Amino acid sequence: MTDTALELIELGAVFFGLGLLGRLAGRIGLSPIPLYLLGGLVFGTGGLVPLGGIDEFTSLAGEIGVVLLLLLLGLEYSAAELVTGLKRSWLAGLLDMVLNAAPGAAVALILGWGPIGAFVMAGVTYISSSGIIAKVLGDLGRLGNRETPVVLSILVFEDLVMALYLPILTAVLVGVSLVGGLTAVGIAVGVLAVVLVVALRYGRYVSAIVDSPDREVFLLKVLGAALLVAGFASAMQVSAAVGAFLLGIAISGSTAENATKMLEPLRDLFAAIFFVVFGLNTDPASIPPVLGWAVVLAVSTTLTKLATGWWAARRQGIGALGRARAGAALVARGEFSIVIAGLAVSYAAVADELAALATAYVLLMAVVGPVAARVVEPLARAVRSRRTDGVPAPSAGR
């Protein structure tokens, strides 16, 4: 059998397997991300059936998956919405960052991974999964709820933090000097400011450049622009993913809506490959030693996200049920956490166990998040009904 034939067979098996896993995830009402990661673990390093002929393709496809994830995330927001969300949610966003970054940093330091490992794990546990959260809110019919703008504003704040965090992380992982690190931060801040100004004042021109009545031409222009911007951003030591995110912000109106509809299937395909690639590069045997710490992080950061959402919704005058829904909606972790861990592992600047811990943590949180969002309202209603019936609710300490 020729090498090409073997590669086609392996690639076909991966795609078909991803389709089966995605269907299974839909049947059980969960995000497919944990199943994609598990699939990668099964067929990767130390797995049951290692795949060795498609490494180059899957690595590049995984990079494209990250670019498309962030591009479509940027398409969801206009520059005006970002600015408004930042003004409204900055205090809740800061609380969210402190409460949820601290557990990851603390565990990394306890495990002896040093400041770099702490910085990486802080990002892994801090950032919620916008993709999973958006899907869950849509599935549950909560997009029009009063607490949903609170959730979205916190997600916007997190996305802006990531726009600054990722280039800083890249500089730290490469091991540049203090001056180089400050330069990277300055470039990131400057690029973000310029893009926001361009998007606010000249967004219609950016949209006009990529727009086209022909679907094929439109797809080629949008995808080509995203890859070009991502490549130039990476060359300037700004994350390629952030470059794609900023391009998405600059595209607005009907152009953004059409681009989202057209790129969603491509995003889902390449993003699935990205999660599989991360699993392929993680040895399953490395997960059991860190599984206990993953559970500790899952429990602690579930509580901190619940507290963040509750507090932020309360500040907006939302009732107890809405506060509970807001907190539970923020629990899920997914694509960004894996992006951060993948960057760290690719530069070999952290302990090998970090990838295993990040994988186990995301596996847990990608399951816990949707489940928490579904069960929080029935639980809150049950507690409230017990109180109104005169039966004391369990104390917070039990």
Query: Has residue 335 got a pLDDT over 70?
Result: yes
- In order of 127, 264, 330, 334, 369, the CA distances from 31 in angstroms are 17, 16, 14, 9, 9
Please compute the mean of the pLDDT values over residues 217-236 and round it to a whole number: 85
Summarised one tens digit per residue, pLDDT across range 252-289 is 778 888 888 888 888 888 878 877 777 776 777 778 89
What is the pLDDT, as a whole number, of residue 244? Answer: 80
What is the pLDDT, as a whole number, of residue 393? Answer: 47
Cα separation, 201 vs 181, whole angstroms: 30
Domain positions in the chain are 57-387
What is the pLDDT, as a whole number, of residue 398? Answer: 30
What is the pLDDT, as a whole number, of residue 353? Answer: 84
Please compute the mean of the pLDDT values over residues 59-75 and round it to a whole number: 79
Query: Has residue 245 got a pLDDT over 70?
Result: yes
Please compute the mean of the pLDDT values over residues 2-25 and round it to a whole number: 81
> CB neighbours of 358 closer than 8 A, spacing ≥ 6?
121, 124, 337, 338, 340, 341
Query: Has residue 250 got a pLDDT over 90?
Result: no
Query: Has residue 294 got a pLDDT over 50?
Result: yes
Which pTM was predicted?
0.73
What is the pLDDT, as a whole number, of residue 198? Answer: 72
What is the pLDDT, as a whole number, of residue 119? Answer: 92
Contact 138, 163 (CB under 8 A): no
Which SS3 state, helix, strand or coil, does residue 389 take? coil
Closest CA relative to residue 198, chosen from 167, 229, 173, 177 = 229
Per the listing, tokens 């395909």 go with: 269
Contact 198, 229 (CB under 8 A): no
> CB neighbours of 315 closer than 8 A, spacing ≥ 6?
91, 92
Assigned architecture for domain 57-387: Up-down Bundle (1.20)
Summarised one tens digit per residue, pLDDT across range 94-147 is 999 999 999 999 999 999 988 889 999 999 999 998 777 877 777 777 877 888
